[in-house]
């Protein structure tokens, strides 16, 4: 297992190197070149000339790339044009919010998707099955931000059950040692703050989780239908084991293998979706910040965030692979 | 690992075989006619027959047909032009007129006729959907074909590129590309297309590899067919099924992604442009006052995506080899 | 290992069972009336099984009657699709969800299994009813240790308590089924087991509840022939010891003859013949049984068969004198004519990629210094189990895989040739027929196009000439003209194989390499294809290289046999030499392992 982890971490290096080359090239391909991109609206010919000299843009490309890489290794991802703060700092302060949101979305997607898919497969052709089909169709055909609009309009604007935006009510006074607001509330025993933060997560979480839910439900349905017709399930029935044991230990466990892979793949989708959902709910995570960066042409932020998100994405997939090994003995390395 | 698990055609040996123009050209020349001369029922015609009897597929086809019809006939159907703002005078900051006999679905905040804009929007969506899918398909097929054909280091390089592109969440990739390509509809098309390239490439390559291992491919090379002939007449035709299914589904994704990109302010043009994503974005401000402004374009996007999805899914089902053999 | 303990234990279990049997026996008597014998375990009466399909109910089994007594083995023999497995699964209540007992009764010790509740059936399974399924590769849960898969049955059936109690019994059961080092093995996963070991685990599982009736569904057909024998021996010893009644499902007549007391022959859902094994097999009444017997890869050598067909005594005489004469003739021929194919010291080494990024690659020698000759116009068979390197050898001769070292010459010229033109010319003269009729034809090509393809590729005539040639070929392999328009998915396995043969013959090759060309087919079809191949050889003067694991096929068709083991050639000789006086232990083991060897006495 340890070998698998180190191996995968080593494989990350060429990936990140490749990505850094692309991002380096990307900045140079931006309309107006890197300096315009760096300066944004503050562009003047003098400032541009100074920056060019400062950044060594008159040097050969390979030297420039080397310097860029060196800065990256030192954790210098540049400075945001909008806030003037380092990109890495912006990422780290905003990332907890997005993690919270993604976790809620995933919990919703898995918690509803797997049971729904399982029941649909066990009772093929039943009402559950048909509703699972409808849910999965909604998931793949409705744009996330439209769903977010609708949820916001219905449950926040019209019914007033949930707050319309933000991570916490403006009136709430709370301390934030970790920037995970729910966790902060729990740590500092500010229960009302934790609750308030959680309530703010519900609507965006559901909006964000619907697509993964649809995909997970669909995958679960397919996997369970296949596994329940597998030879080993028939053989297990021939042994006369209890139905509950057959369901959990044989059918569900085997069906979880492809579902797990699917869940890993959803993380990329969630990060894409977070950009849209956070914007609709004015939820200040990396997603809404990215959207702002796009809007304001804050290229250092885009450049840095893409790299950091790719790292996150890769680490999550590593995690999925490791847990895959826990379920499937065939993937465990012997010795 | 036992001996019989060795790959049937190890990449190395076969890949080293040079490409030739041999008797293959004769084979490729009128291969198509032979199939139609002796009808029987091929994979595609069987899939078509299955599709025609599948109500889900029919539903999908009807939606797609309606959508295409509306898009093509927009100049005839729409009461107003795409950038006309006929009701500009009637808009107050606090009041946006709803449906009336003049404007069947009401006005938006710019004074545009919502019905007209929805109809013109279909045209924009169709354009973006088809062009970006074609772009992705062409790029992906090319990359996948290179990888699946040459194998070896070409395959390695192509697949690393694919990994690289897939390591960035799709929307971010699209946004980055749109940032380079500038503010225009074309840049949205390119951005969405590029995002699809790695997906198509990986799909085609995987499909080709699995076909390569089949005995009929071995049999064909044992007939003395060159590698190119075998690829063109056996491997590729049997590999494109999943790619075509994916392309159909991509039409749906492209419509949605295009809306997402214009929601993020990419795509250029006036905020009042007759484009579903743009309409949805603009409507965000009036959610409490006039929810229809958001709901109508949203529903249009969803229904269009549904149509393509239904067609794609039924096509996948019809082409599934597990449903193909009669037992 | 610890024989003493083992036998003692099985005695215990046997004794316990006997008590139950006694009470159940009386039950059976009252339920079924006077004539029911005490020792009848299973009585199937007028059974019909239906499957719901889109086109309405399809009857898979109809009017089936059979009886299985205590300690008796009853074999149900039939081709795939004959309904034999359906019948057995109906007994266990394990029909697919769209299947159901439509008519008749399944009396199992006084209960009608066709009528009892699903719960009752579930409680009978694993205790009174056991199953040893067909394919050891797919019948074990891949994510659960083997031991636990047996434990859970013991626990859920209330036979043992969870924990050490159950595991102790599991280890006993596994070693009883012949699995060495069972205690350690029990904690391993299926992928760490070989096919034979998995099958032993499945036997342990099937017998774990000491069932009164064990359904053994093709218990060894997925295994290599030498492994088969050991496992069947273990199975029959165990069931004999325990007095278990066995319902053996098989397509293999030899196996049925060897292992069963009673044989039931099924054909298209009906039982067409049944009776004591010997009687049915030696004196078949029903037309289908006769056909099955005639086409079984009988171990009578081909020559005797031909003699019988022609009814000519002198041929028989000739055959008896043949070995000498043939040896002389062979010697004379060898001097006169060079072999068509000549392989010298051919070796093929594959490089197996190491695991992961840093793993080091490993060399694997698939074929190790093999030399052989294929005389013109003869049939040479290469026999071996999976992994013996026989298919790699075939690929090298086909010029699909280059040898790592050694030479292969064809008609005096090195195989493949240096130029592309030479390669293509070579391919015209050597053609393959592959094993799996489902993957050897392009699903998108019609039969016509498949057969025409080689003609097009080698620029044979114009369209009309090609059409004529395709029709001629179809005629040669006895494919109806109507089939030319069909696609592979619309053909049966035998028809597909005929298409593959026609395609191979299109260019009038000299050598045809048949890689397990008939092993995926049912015996009757297999016999037809073999007869076709023999006929074509005579007609067209072909040379065959047969790659197979099936010795019975070899005896039917080959002149010379080569036996391969672990990449090496271990034995070589004429069919009679090898079959009658094998020189190596491995060949002997292979021969001994053929089920129903003594069947030839019946013919």
Which residues contact residue A250 at a Cβ distance below 8 angstroms, ignoring those fewer than 6 apart? A227, A232, A233, A236, C141, C144
CA distance A244 to chain C (A): 11
The answer to whether the predicted template modeling score (pTM) of the entire model surpasses 0.90 is no
Instruction: Compare all CA atoms of chain A with the CA of B280 and give the residue at the minimum distance.
Output: A146
pLDDT at B54: 80
Share of chain C above pLDDT 70, in %: 82
Classify A124 as helix, strand or coil. Answer: coil
Q: Is C18 exposed, middle or buried (0-12, 13-18, 19+ CB in 10 A)?
A: exposed
Distance, CA of A316 to CA of C111 (rounded, Å): 56
Please, is C299 exposed, middle or buried when counting C-beta atoms within 10 Å of its C-beta (0-12, 13-18, 19+)? buried
Residue B134 has a pLDDT of 92
Q: If pLDDT is split at 50, 70 and 90, which confidence band does A55 have?
A: low
CA-closest candidate to residue A203, choices A85, A108, A83: A108
Residue C445 DSSP one-character state: S
CB count, 10 Å around CB of A328?
Answer: 18
- In 3D space, the residue among C346, C358, C565 whose CA is nearest the CA of residue B3 turns out to be C565
C371 Cβ neighbours under 8 A, 6+ residues apart: C343, C344, C345, C346, C406, C569
Residue pair C363/C337 in contact (Cβ under 8 Å)? The answer is no
Determine the pLDDT at residue B121: 84
Which helix H or strand E contains C303, and what residues bound it? helix C302-310
DSSP string for A32-101: THHHHHHHGGG--HHHHHHHHHHHTTTS-HHHHHHHHHHHHHTT---B-TTT-SBHHHHHHHHHHHHHHH
Q: Is the Cβ–Cβ distance between B279 and A146 less than 8 Å?
A: no
Tell me which chain B residues have a C-beta less than 8 angstroms from the C-beta of A30.
179-180
ipTM of the complex: 0.79
Quote the minimal CA–CA distance from B172 to chain A in Å: 7
Instruction: Count CB pairs under 8 A between chains A and B.
Output: 122
Q: Do A276 and B260 touch (CB under 8 A)?
A: yes
Alpha-carbon Rg for chain B, nearest whole angstrom, is 24
**Least confident range of A37-41, C277-281, C395-399:** A37-41
3-state class (DSSP) for residue C462: coil
In the β-sheet with C341-352, what is the strand arrangement from edge to edge? Answer: C362-374, C341-352, C405-410, C413-414
Q: List the 195-214 stretch of B: residues with Cβ below 8 A of C.
A: 214
Residues of C in contact with B18 (CB under 8 A): 420
The verdict on a CB contact (< 8 Å) between B6 and C424 is no
pLDDT digits (tens, 9 = 90+) for C527-575: 788 888 888 888 888 888 888 887 777 877 888 888 888 888 888 888 8
pLDDT tens per residue across span C376-410: 888 888 988 877 888 888 888 888 888 888 888 88
Shortest CA distance to C8 belongs to which of C241, C333, C332, C330? Answer: C241
The rounded distance, in Å, linking the Cα atoms of C187 and C298 is 43
Paired sense of beta strands C362-374 and C341-352, if any: antiparallel
The kind and range of the H/E element at C266 are strand C262-267
In angstroms, the CA A305 to CA A299 distance is 10
Measured CA to CA, the distance from residue C174 to residue B316 in angstroms comes to 45
Domain at C8-283: CATH architecture: 3-Layer(aba) Sandwich (3.40)
- Contact between residue C523 and residue C531 where contact means Cβ atoms under 8 Å apart: no
- Angle in degrees, CA C356, C359, C365, rounded to 5: 110
CB C265 within 8 A of CB C286: yes
Q: Identify any residues that bridge with C39 across adjacent strands, giving them in sequence order.
A: none
- Cβ atoms of residues C45 and C65 within 8 Å: yes
- In chain B, domain spans: 60-81+100-326
Cβ within 8 Å, pair B176-A297 = no
Confidence of residue B40 (pLDDT cuts 50, 70, 90): low
- Catalogue the E-assigned strands of C293-361: 341-352
Task: Give, for C91, the enclosing helix (H) or strand (E).
Answer: helix C84-92
Span A260-287, average pLDDT: 83
What is the per-residue pLDDT for C23?
37
pLDDT band at residue C34 using 50, 70 and 90 as cut-offs: very low
Instruction: Indicate the range of C36-45, C122-131, C187-196 predicted with least confidence.
Output: C36-45
**Unique residue bearing structure tokens 């790339």:** A65
Structure tokens, C188: 């391993």
CA separation for the pair B12, C361 (Å, rounded): 15
Task: Evaluate whether B107 touches B55 at the Cβ level (below 8 Å).
Answer: no
According to DSSP, the residues that pair with C213 across neighbouring strands are C129, C245
Nearest CA in chain B to C401: B13
Nearest CA in chain C to B210: C439
Task: Please judge whether C449 and B34 are an interchain contact, meaning their C-beta atoms are less than 8 angstroms apart.
Answer: yes
Mean pLDDT value of segment A234-248: 86
d(CA C334, CA C331): 5
User: pLDDT tens-digit profile of B213-249?
Assistant: 788 888 888 877 777 888 888 888 888 888 888 888 8
What does the alpha-carbon distance between residue C191 and residue C128 come to, in Å, rounded to a whole number? 29
Q: What is the CATH number of domain C296-352+363-411+510-603?
A: 3.40.50.300
Calculate the average pLDDT of chain C. Answer: 77
* Band of pLDDT at residue B138, cut at 50, 70 and 90: very high
Both tokens of A300, joined, read 């250092």
CB B286 within 8 A of CB B8: no
Give how far Cα B246 sits from Cα of A135, A212, B194, Å.
Answer: 21, 18, 15
Range with the poorest average pLDDT among A39-53, A256-270, A281-295, B119-133: A39-53
* Range with lowest mean pLDDT among A148-152, C136-140, C280-284: C280-284
Taking only Cα atoms into account, the Rg of chain C, rounded to an integer number of angstroms, comes to: 27
User: CB-based contacts of A2: which residues, under 8 Å, 6+ apart?
Assistant: none
Token digits of residue C271: 């039982």
- What does the block give as tokens for A24? 């380096």
* Cα–Cα distance measured from residue C171 to residue C5, given in angstroms and rounded to the nearest whole number: 12
First to last CA, chain A: 10
- Beta-carbon separation of C191 and A329 below 8 A: yes
A153 to B266: CB separation less than 8 angstroms, yes or no = no
Residues of A with Cβ-Cβ distance to B277 under 8 angstroms: 143
How far, in Å, are A72, B18, C385 from residue B9 at the CA level? 43, 16, 20
Residue C341, classed as helix, strand or coil, is: strand
Q: Which three-class secondary structure state does DSSP give residue B264? A: coil
Find tokens 């199939």 and name the residue.
Answer: B35
Start-end of CATH 3.40.50.300 domains in chain C: 8-283, 296-352+363-411+510-603
Judge contact between C400 and B9, C-beta under 8 A.
Answer: yes
Residue pair C125/C92 in contact (Cβ under 8 Å)? The answer is yes
- pLDDT of C147-191, one tens digit each? 889 888 888 888 888 888 888 889 988 888 888 888 888 888 888
Cβ–Cβ of A239/C152 closer than 8 Å? yes
**pLDDT tens string B4-35:** 333 333 333 333 333 333 333 333 333 333 33
Residue B98's CB is within 10 A of a number of other CB atoms, namely: 13
Residue B291: pLDDT over 70: yes
Could you tell me which residues of chain B have a Cβ less than 8 Å from any Cβ in chain A? 160, 163-164, 166-172, 175-176, 179-180, 182, 252, 256, 259-260, 263-266, 277, 280, 283-284, 287-288, 291, 294-295, 298, 301-303, 305-306, 309-310
pLDDT the model gives residue B6: 32
| pLDDT score for C596 | 59
Q: Chains with 3 or more CB pairs closer than 8 angstroms to C?
A: A, B
DSSP class of residue B235 equals I
Give partners of B (≥3 CB pairs < 8 A).
A, C
Chain Cα centroid distance, residue A274: 7
Rounded Cα distance between A52 and A57, Å, is: 5
- The radius of gyration of chain A's CA atoms, rounded to the nearest angstrom, is 24
- How close does chain A come to B118, measured CA to CA in Å? 16
- Alpha-carbon distance A91 to A286, whole Å? 6
State CA C176 to chain mean position distance: 26
Tokens matching residue B199: 């997906």
Query: Using an 8 Å Cβ cutoff, are C113 and C121 in contact?
Result: yes
Which of chain A's residues have a Cβ under 8 Å away from the Cβ of C201?
A: none
Q: Which helix (H) or strand (E) holds C397?
A: helix C390-397
* Contacts A29 to B, Cβ<8 Å: 180
The DSSP 8-state label assigned to residue A250 in this structure reads I
Distances (CA, A) of C508 to B91, B251, C503: 85, 50, 10
For residue B225, is it left (φ>0), alpha (ψ between -120 and 50) or beta?
beta
3-state secondary structure of A152: helix
The two three-digit tokens of residue A169, written as one number: 């009510």
Q: Measured between beta carbons, which residues in chain B are less than 8 angstroms from residue C399?
A: 222
| Interface contacts (A, C; CB < 8 Å) | 97
Per-residue pLDDT at A48 exceeds 60: yes
The conformation of residue B113, written as its DSSP 8-state character, comes to: B
Give the pLDDT confidence score for residue B183 in this predicted structure.
Answer: 76
- Looking at every residue in chain B, the average pLDDT score rounds to 75
CATH architecture of B60-81+100-326: Orthogonal Bundle (1.10)
Hey, are the CB atoms on C428 and B224 less than 8 Å from each other?
yes
């Amino acid at each position: 297992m340890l070998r698998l982890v180190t191996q995968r971490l080593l494989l990350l290096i060429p990936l990140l190197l490749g990505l850094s080359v692309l991002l380096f090239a990307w900045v140079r391909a931006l309309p107006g070149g890197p300096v315009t991109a760096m300066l944004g609206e503050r562009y003047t010919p003098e400032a541009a000339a100074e920056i060019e000299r400062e950044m060594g843009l008159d040097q050969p490309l390979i030297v420039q790339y080397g310097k860029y890489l060196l800065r990256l290794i030192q954790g210098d991802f540049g400075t945001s044009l909008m806030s003037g703060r380092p990109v890495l700092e912006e990422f780290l302060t905003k990332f907890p919010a997005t993690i919270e949101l993604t976790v809620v979305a995933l919990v919703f997607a898995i918690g509803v998707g797997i049971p729904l898919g399982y029941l649909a497969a066990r009772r093929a052709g039943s009402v559950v099955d048909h509703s699972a089909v409808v849910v999965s169709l909604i998931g793949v055909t409705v744009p996330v931000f439209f769903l977010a609009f609708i949820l916001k309009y219905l449950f926040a604007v019209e019914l007033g059950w949930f707050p319309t935006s933000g991570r916490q009510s403006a009136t709430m006074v709370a301390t934030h040692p970790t920037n995970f607001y729910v966790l902060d509330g729990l740590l500092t025993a500010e229960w009302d703050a934790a609750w308030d933060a959680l309530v703010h997560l519900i609507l965006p979480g559901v909006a964000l989780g619907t697509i993964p839910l649809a995909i997970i439900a669909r995958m679960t349905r397919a996997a369970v239908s296949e596994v329940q017709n597998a030879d080993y399930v028939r053989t297990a029935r021939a042994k006369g084991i209890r139905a509950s044991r057959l369901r959990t230990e044989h059918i569900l466990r085997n069906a979880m293998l492809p579902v797990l892979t699917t869940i890993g793949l959803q993380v990329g989708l969630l990060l894409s979706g977070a950009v849209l959902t956070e914007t609709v709910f004015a939820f200040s995570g990396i997603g809404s910040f990215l959207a702002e960066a796009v809007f304001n042409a804050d290229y250092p932020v885009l450049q840095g965030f893409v790299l950091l998100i790719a790292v996150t994405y890769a680490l999550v997939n590593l995690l999925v692979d490791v847990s895959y090994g826990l379920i499937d003995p065939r993937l465990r390395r012997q010795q | 690992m036992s001996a019989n698990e060795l790959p049937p055609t190890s990449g190395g040996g076969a890949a080293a075989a040079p490409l030739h123009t041999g008797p293959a050209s004769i084979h490729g020349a009128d291969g198509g006619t032979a199939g139609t001369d002796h009808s029987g029922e091929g994979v595609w015609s069987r899939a078509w027959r299955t599709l025609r009897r599948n109500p889900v597929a029919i539903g999908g086809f009807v939606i797609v047909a309606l959508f295409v019809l509306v898009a093509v006939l927009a100049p005839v159907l729409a009461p107003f032009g795409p950038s006309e703002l006929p009701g500009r005078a009637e808009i107050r900051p606090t009041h946006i007129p709803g449906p009336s006999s003049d404007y069947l679905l009401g006005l938006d905040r710019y004074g545009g006729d919502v019905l007209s804009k929805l109809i013109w929007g279909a045209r924009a969506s169709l354009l973006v959907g088809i062009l970006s899918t074609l772009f992705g398909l062409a790029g992906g097929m090319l990359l996948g074909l290179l990888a699946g054909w040459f194998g070896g280091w070409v395959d390695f390089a192509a697949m690393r590129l694919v990994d690289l592109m897939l390591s960035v969440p799709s929307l971010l990739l699209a946004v980055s590309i749109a940032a380079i390509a500038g503010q225009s509809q074309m840049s949205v098309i390119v951005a969405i297309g590029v995002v699809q390239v790695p997906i198509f490439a990986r799909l085609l390559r995987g499909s080709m590899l699995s076909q390569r291992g089949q005995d009929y491919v071995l049999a064909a090379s044992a007939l003395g067919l060159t590698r190119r002939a075998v690829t063109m007449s056996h491997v590729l035709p049997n590999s494109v099924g999943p790619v075509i299914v994916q392309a159909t589904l991509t039409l749906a994704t492209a419509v949605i992604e295009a809306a997402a990109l214009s929601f993020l302010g990419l795509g250029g043009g006036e905020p009042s442009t007759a484009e579903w994503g743009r309409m949805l974005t603009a409507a965000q401000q009036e959610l409490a006052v006039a929810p229809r402004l958001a709901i109508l374009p949203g529903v249009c996007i969803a229904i269009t995506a549904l149509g393509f999805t239904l067609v794609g899914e039924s096509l996948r089902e019809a082409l599934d080899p597990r449903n193909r053999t009669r037992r | 290992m610890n024989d003493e303990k083992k036998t003692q234990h099985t005695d215990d279990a046997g004794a316990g069972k006997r008590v139950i049997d006694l009470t159940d026996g009386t039950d059976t008597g009252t339920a079924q009336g006077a004539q029911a014998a005490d020792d009848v375990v299973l009585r199937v009466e007028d059974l019909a099984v239906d499957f719901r399909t889109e086109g309405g109910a399809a009857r898979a089994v109809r009017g089936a009657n059979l009886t299985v007594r205590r300690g008796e083995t009853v074999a149900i023999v039939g081709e795939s699709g004959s309904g034999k497995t359906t019948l057995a699964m109906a007994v266990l209540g394990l029909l697919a969800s769209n299947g159901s007992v439509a008519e008749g009764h399944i009396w199992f010790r006084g209960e009608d299994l066709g009528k009892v509740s699903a719960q009752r059936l579930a409680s009978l399974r694993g205790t009174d009813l056991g199953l040893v399924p067909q394919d050891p590769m797919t019948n074990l849960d891949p994510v659960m240790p083997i031991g636990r898969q047996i434990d859970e049955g013991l626990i859920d059936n209330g036979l043992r308590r969870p924990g050490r109690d159950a595991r102790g019994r599991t280890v006993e059961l596994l070693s009883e089924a012949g699995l060495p080092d069972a205690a350690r093995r029990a904690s391993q996963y299926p992928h760490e087991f070989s096919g034979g070991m998995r099958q032993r685990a499945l036997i342990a599982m099937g017998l774990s509840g000491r069932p009164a009736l064990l359904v053994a569904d093709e218990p060894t057909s997925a295994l290599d022939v030498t492994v088969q024998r050991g496992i069947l021996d273990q199975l029959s010893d165990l069931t004999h010891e325990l007095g278990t009644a066995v319902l053996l499902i098989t397509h293999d007549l030899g196996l049925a003859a060897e292992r069963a007391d009673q044989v039931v022959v099924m054909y298209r859902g009906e039982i067409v013949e049944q009776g004591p094994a010997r009687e049915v097999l030696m004196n078949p009444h029903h037309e289908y049984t006769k056909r099955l017997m005639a086409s079984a890869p009988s171990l009578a050598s081909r020559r005797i068969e031909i003699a019988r067909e022609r009814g000519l005594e002198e041929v028989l005489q000739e055959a008896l004198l043949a070995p000498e004469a043939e040896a002389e003739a062979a010697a004379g021929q060898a001097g006169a004519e060079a072999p068509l194919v000549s392989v010298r010291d051919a070796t093929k080494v594959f490089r197996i990629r190491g695991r992961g990024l840093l793993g080091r690659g490993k060399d694997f020698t698939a074929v190790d210094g093999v030399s052989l000759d294929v005389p013109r116009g003869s049939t040479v068979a290469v026999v071996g189990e999976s992994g013996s390197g026989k298919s790699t050898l075939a690929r090298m001769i086909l010029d699909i895989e280059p040898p790592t070292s050694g030479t292969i010459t064809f008609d005096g010229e090195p195989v493949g040739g240096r130029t592309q033109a030479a390669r293509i010319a070579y391919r015209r003269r050597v053609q393959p027929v592959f094993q799996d009729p489902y993957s050897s034809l392009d699903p998108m090509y019609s039969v016509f196009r498949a057969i025409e393809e080689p003609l097009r590729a080698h620029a044979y005539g114009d369209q009309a000439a090609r059409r004529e040639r395709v029709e001629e070929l179809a005629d040669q392999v006895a494919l109806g003209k109507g089939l030319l328009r069909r696609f592979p998915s619309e053909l049966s396995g035998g028809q597909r194989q005929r298409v593959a043969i026609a395609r191979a013959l299109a260019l009038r090759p000299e050598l045809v390499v048949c890689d397990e060309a008939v092993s995926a087919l049912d015996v009757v079809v297999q016999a037809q294809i073999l007869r076709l191949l023999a006929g074509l050889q005579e007609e067209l003067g072909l040379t065959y290289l047969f790659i197979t694991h099936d010795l019975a096929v070899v005896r039917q068709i080959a002149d010379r046999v080569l036996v391969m083991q672990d990449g090496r050639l271990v034995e070589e000789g004429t069919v009679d030499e090898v079959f009658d006086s094998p020189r190596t232990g491995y060949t002997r083991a292979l021969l001994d392992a053929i089920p129903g060897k003594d069947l030839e006495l019946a013919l």
